[in-house]
Structure 1
Amino acid sequence: MLIVIDIGNTNITMGIYHEDLLIGTYRLTTKFQRTSDEYGFMLLSFLNASAITVKDIDDIIISSVVPKINYSFTNSIKKYLFKEPIFIGPGVKTGIDIRIDNPSTLGADRLVDAVGAYYTYGGPCLVIDFGTATTYDVVSHQGEFLGGATAPGIGICANALSSQAAKLPEIEIQKPECVIAKNTIKSMQSGVFFGYIGQTEYLIQQIKKEYQQDMKVISTGGLGRMIAKETALIDIYDADLTFKGLKIIYDKTKRKQSL
């Protein structure tokens, strides 16, 4: 079995593959202060909840955009799962040709999502990840990562309102009944939610116009489902896109090593 792990700025998500089937997922909050033992206990709890033993695990592959916790997380895997994890980075075969100014600066999460989208749904495609930041990335028909755009995530937008304006409260991100509201909370929810849909649709339209071609639009990320339901410009919402990308990269890496 293969454990796939995505370490993001807000959450750490983990999945287990039995051959090509994703049989379990788990999510925890990203915290910099956790020790390797704390991560180890969480990993073991994840396995126990899925009725899987340490001996069942063949390998672990990780995508991380939080370097501060990589050391502790790696040590937890070595200590409790007895494996050396594979990190997405130089030397790992992805099957994507990165065509940006400095390929080494591309976040592992964006690369993994691009792999998952391209090899699952084909190209050209526009991959949108609604995470802490929202990223829009273009992959060509030939599997080239051509570039992207980065916007504040919908959560950041909501938090900015309450933190920067003294009289505005914290809000839950949800779709209000109408655009024009009769109270402060509903008006904030309206501005954040419907405003974010407008931003999303405008960027999709401009990206397609810039490349002068139609492309499949694939979205993922924690709040992506909510946005995808509200616009016809997103073709596919895939909650497991990152896991799929990690599994594809793992398979390519192992095939390369066996040659």
Structure 2
Amino acid sequence: MLLAIDAGNTNVVFALVAGREIKTRWRIATDPRRTGDEYAVWLHQLLELEGYSKADVTAAIIGTVVPRATHNLEVLASKYFGVEALIAGEGRAAWPIALDVDEPQNVGADRALNAIAVHDKCPGDVIVIDFGTATTFDIVDYNGAYKGGIIAPGINLSLDALVNAAAKLPRIAIEVPADESVIGRTTDSQMLIGIYWGYVAMMEGLVERLKSEIGRPVRVIATGGLATLFDKQTDLFDAVEPDLTIQGLSLLHQKVASA
């Protein structure tokens, strides 16, 4: 099986993939100082809990937006699984899609991987909204080319900035408000309305502008850990695909293996 590793700014996600099926996945907080040995201790225990062993891993691929974490993840793959990990976007695993932007070298691996996966799932023009440390809006055209997009502060990042800058504001949990009223009666409810419904309004407004600029029928696909938090409160999304980046890693590995 393939060990697909998505190293993001907040979490590193590990997934076991057989063919196109994600068998299981785990996540750990991103820490560039974490060594390959530390990853191995943690991951081997989780493999055993799920009924797998390190012998089940026959290949590995890493997609990362945290360059300092890459070496230790490569050590994990080589030392403990006996495989040489592919690095998404580099060498044999160079991007198989066009990055049609002014600075293609600066496109995050997660955004390119999402583009690979979404084009495989949805022929035609697509907007991918990825809820991570940042919330990104990415445009993938009907040819599968990455055309650019938008970077906005993630919802947790926005809340952290608000709490850290205002001494009397409490830290609240981000959740679906109890009703659709946008008149808060307490400090907590006013904060939740501002963060939650403000975020919905931001997404709806940006997608409307993107669709107008694209000028063709376009689908909107949401991914990332917080996508389901908004799914039932807006008709913005045509589908939610929580594992889009892992799917992109799997597809990229398959292209390399079949070359």
Normalised-by-shorter TM-score class: over 0.9
Asked whether the equivalents of residues 89 and 95 of structure 2 are also in contact (C-alpha less than 8 Å), the reply is: no
Look up the match of 2:191: 188
Task: Tell me whether 1:149 sits opposite 2:140 in the alignment.
Answer: no
Corresponding pairs, count: 256
CA distance, structure 1, for counterparts of residue 208 and residue 16 of structure 2: 36
Q: Which runs of 5+ in 2 are unaligned?
A: none
Look up the match of 1:208: 211
The 4+ residue runs of structure 1 with deviation greater than 2 A are: none
Residue correspondence of structure 1 range 71-86 to structure 2 within 5 A: 71-86=71-86
Structure 1: which amino acid aligns with 2:166?
A
SS at match of 2:78: helix
Look up the match of 1:139: 140
Asked whether the equivalents of residues 134 and 154 of structure 2 are also in contact (C-alpha less than 8 Å), the reply is: yes
Shift of 1:40: 1.2
Asked whether the equivalents of residues 124 and 142 of structure 2 are also in contact (C-alpha less than 8 Å), the reply is: yes
SS at match of 2:9: coil
Structure 2: which amino acid aligns with 1:126?
I
Look up the match of 2:98: 97
Asked whether the equivalents of residues 77 and 84 of structure 2 are also in contact (C-alpha less than 8 Å), the reply is: yes
Shift of 1:21: 1.6
Look up the match of 1:227: 230
Look up the match of 2:175: 174
Look up the match of 1:120: 121
CA distance, structure 2, for counterparts of residue 248 and residue 69 of structure 1: 22
Task: Tell me whether 1:15 sits opposite 2:18 in the alignment.
Answer: no
Look up the match of 1:57: 57
SS at match of 1:97: coil
SS at match of 2:24: strand
Shift of 1:227: 1.6
CA distance, structure 2, for counterparts of residue 34 and residue 7 of structure 1: 12
CA distance, structure 1, for counterparts of residue 176 and residue 209 of structure 2: 25
Structure 1: which amino acid aligns with 2:247?
K
Of 194, 208, 217, which residue of structure 1 is paired with 2:220?
A: 217
- TM-score under structure 1 normalisation? 0.95
CA distance, structure 1, for counterparts of residue 175 and residue 189 of structure 2: 9
Look up the match of 2:30: 30
SS at match of 2:62: strand
